[in-house]
Amino acid sequence: MSENRGAAVRYDSVQKSYDGETLVVKNLNLDIARGEFLTMLGPSGSGKTTCLMMLAGFEPATHGEIYLNDNPINNVPPHKRGIGMVFQNYALFPHMSVAENLAFPLQVRGMDKSEQESRIKRALDMVELGAFGSRRPAQLSGGQQQRVAVARALVFDPELVLMDEPLGALDKQLREQMQYEIKHIHDNLGVTIVYVTHDQTEALTMSDRVAVFNDGVIQQLSPPDMLYESPQNSFVAQFIGENNKLNGNVTEIGGGECMVEVAGGIKLRADPVNIAGIGSKTTLSLRPERVELQPEKPMDNMVDGKIEELIYLGDHIRVRMSVAGNSEFVVKVRNRGERRKIAAGDIVPIGWAAGDCKALDAVG
């Protein structure tokens, strides 16, 4: 994101404890740029939802300050922060029509009737529900209800919209469709969105940047492609996408590479992203699609592996192998239409480039 846009949101040394002893959020420092789509991603209990709830005003920070457009908001009540919210359960009023649900935040702000009507129409058109204003939420599908919830969050033109697992209740196909729709709305409006999810595919699809949380700490803050291609520690590598893991010891470092000895005395060349030094333990991270089965040319790393299982998945074949002591080593082989003459039990060579193999320390 460009720095000159300034920070819409700033967490300054923010901590949160519910019991006065255990920190759920540990010393969070984070700037979110105006117009940015930032996703807080992590497993349950990682602190991501607590960070969102403190920003919304539903939870007080134990320590530190949260700023909205450079103004401290710790003591500002939720309804005066001017933030749009979208929840997983939609939180629509069942006794009101769709239009009445959208009118509610406008009435609270004292907006006149004609302005309300034009904003409601614009917001419903934005989510392609222009003809549904008179319906009740119970007369809508789950996807339509979620669209109404998004429209209601945007109808009063907030500068900031918070979304807490908003697509969690939808089926896979509808969820993917809504991901693109929310992303397109963001692109068109330029509103700042802070989004919380535990679904890494969702985070990669929608975000400008992703903050990966674990144990109350941001493990990595990067654009989606950097997160996937260049994980900074083994937690991020395991959490984002599918990943092969080989444990070993660093034996050499030099020339922008390191040598790692793994099970069976096999030595592998790797990219030393985050290692302690020669003699230290490390975890090698390698994406399944970067491994070549029966490579036609020599590669930086060449080993033999035993095929344990072949799974046909349409666009690719998932080959599970035993490699260097890891019986869950996966190779994704693109389906080009020809029949490969391989079977479970075969011992075959595999190879990969040193740069695709990241030597990582454990979570620091």
Cβ distance 89 to 100 under 8 Å? Answer: no
Mean pLDDT of 178-193: 91
Q: Where in the chain is the domain with CATH 3.40.50.300?
A: 3-231
Confidence of residue 5 (pLDDT cuts 50, 70, 90): low
Burial class of residue 282 (count of CB atoms within 10 Å of its CB; 0-12, 13-18, 19+): buried
> Tens digit of pLDDT for each residue in 92-115?
899 999 999 999 989 888 888 989
The pTM for the full model equals: 0.87
Please state which CATH number belongs to domain 3-231: 3.40.50.300
Query: Considering the domain 235-360 in this protein, what is its CATH number?
Result: 2.40.50.140
Q: How many CB atoms lie within 10 A of CB 86?
A: 23
Check whether 361 has a pLDDT greater than 90.
Answer: no
Which residue intervals of the chain bear CATH 2.40.50.140?
235-360
